[in-house]
Amino acid sequence: MTGPGEISQPPPVSAEVVSSAIQQMVRDSQTLGITWSLRIATIRLVTSTLILGSFDGDLDNTQLTLTTMTPNVGVGNRVYVMSVPPGGNFIVGWALPIPATAGNMYAVTGTFLVSTAGAEAAVPTASWTLQPLFEFHPGQIYALQYAFNPISSGATNLYGVFRVRMGAASTSGTVLTDSAVFVNTGGLAINIDRVGYIKNTTTSVISTYLSLSVQNATGADFLRIWGAGSTSPTHVTALHVGSIIENPDLAAMAVAIA
């Protein structure tokens, strides 16, 4: 009983009762499909008008339509998806970041190849200390760094074209970048370091081996690629720069890999 001007207070409620009520509200919301949830999904299909993905843990592997808030997703990408009933499923971020490198191949020492006048030759597969598959993610730009030591075998100054191509030990694969180098008479010129830019404009990860080749454009002597030890190895490295959308000027000069 309360006196004049007094307000009646409800009886205290235990923490257990409050917790039980909240849990029941969550269960009811889940049953009605009105809760938001953040889950990890794998992209299964990407077209110009449709993205499909499947959630981790779905036993039937159902593919759902996704709306992306993150640019340049591709098939096989792992992403965070926010499910917002009844609005849909929204890609809000990467579950696994794009690696800093697409790959690195190198050879430490030795004479790796010989090119006569007019002929192109590639460093043989067996000459590489490491020659992995490079993986280029969709919608991304990469800096393709390559270093080599050119050497002329005789008394003739030589002019050579050094190329990085797609494919293992290839002289016919797609050229991704190249350099023209003038090599002084009868000996090692310098350690040459070059950078070219490439981009993956497809919707899938591109996996490929790469090659380093040389074509002797002048003279009858041999033009070689030579390794100068661990401090100056012949190598090809692909470094991730960023997305095509975020770097339109750089993307304009990058070579498309396909």
Q: What is the DSSP string of 4-20?
A: TT--PPPPP--HHHHHH
CA distances (Å), origin 235, targets 22, 75, 193, 258: 60, 29, 9, 22
- Cβ(104)–Cβ(235) under 8 Å? yes
Of the candidates 151, 153, 166, 124, which has an alpha carbon nearest to the alpha carbon of residue 258? Answer: 166
Tokens of 78: 């792992």
33-94 CATH, one of 2.60.40.1180, 3.40.91.10, 2.40.50.140, 2.120.10.10: 2.40.50.140
CA distances (Å), origin 123, targets 171, 189, 236: 10, 19, 12
Q: What is the pLDDT of residue 141?
A: 92
Q: What is the pLDDT of residue 156?
A: 65
Q: What is the pLDDT of residue 109?
A: 59
Residues of the chain with pLDDT under 70: 1-15, 17-19, 21-22, 26, 28-34, 59, 108-117, 152-158, 184-190, 217-224, 226-231
* Helix (H/G/I), strand (E/B), else coil: 147: strand
Q: What is the pLDDT of residue 207?
A: 92
- Cβ(160)–Cβ(117) under 8 Å? no
Query: β-strand 78-84 against 88-94: which pairing, if any?
Result: antiparallel
* Helix (H/G/I), strand (E/B), else coil: 254: coil
Of the candidates 139, 131, 23, which has an alpha carbon nearest to the alpha carbon of residue 70? Answer: 139
Element (H, E) at 123: none
- Please indicate, yes or no, whether the overall pTM of this predicted structure exceeds 0.75: no
> Is CATH 2.60.120.760 the right assignment for the domain spanning 101-256?
yes
Other C-beta atoms lying within 10 Å of the C-beta of residue 78: 15
* Helix (H/G/I), strand (E/B), else coil: 74: coil
**Residue range(s) in the chain whose domain bears CATH number 2.40.50.140:** 33-94
